[in-house]
Amino acid sequence: MFKGLEEYKKRREQDFMQYVDDDIVERFEKGTVITKDEYFSMRLNSYERNYLFPLYDDELLLYLIEYSLCQEGKTEIYKYDIPNNYTDSVLRLYLPELIRRFKNNS
């Protein structure tokens, strides 16, 4: 049973990595942080963006979180609103507050 799971995971990795160029893999292995300016100058496909995600610096990560929330149409919960569910709490209550606190401490 576990052998099947391992084979599945290996196939998924191979399917994913076929879209990631060798220079991107090399960049990831070096571990060099990616800044916001550098990110916007890079030509990456979605697989490569996902692969490099752990290397994003804090400024870029915050930008992408805020951008994604905006694109999703998630607005911050107002003072007297109640979240509808856990996802709503995370996206509209906790995450905006975490971003605000992080920016204030930077």
Distance, in Å, from the CA atom of 50 to the CA atom of 48, rounded to the nearest integer, reads 5
**Is residue 51 located within the same domain as residue 62?**
no
Q: Are 66 and 98 in contact, with CB atoms under 8 Å apart?
A: no
Distance, in Å, from the CA atom of 105 to the CA atom of 101, rounded to the nearest integer, reads 6
**Is residue 23 located within the same domain as residue 69?**
no
- Mean pLDDT of the residues in the chain: 90
Q: Does residue 12 carry a pLDDT above 90? A: yes
Domain, as residue range, for 51: 1-56
Own/partner contacts of 79-82, CB < 8 Å, gap of 24 or more, are none
**Is residue 50 located within the same domain as residue 62?**
no
Instruction: Tell me what pLDDT residue 20 has.
Output: 98
The one-letter code for the residue type at 22 is: D
Q: Does residue 10 carry a pLDDT above 60? A: yes
Instruction: Tell me what pLDDT residue 1 has.
Output: 53
**Is residue 7 located within the same domain as residue 46?**
yes
**Is residue 11 located within the same domain as residue 47?**
yes
pTM listed for this prediction: 0.77
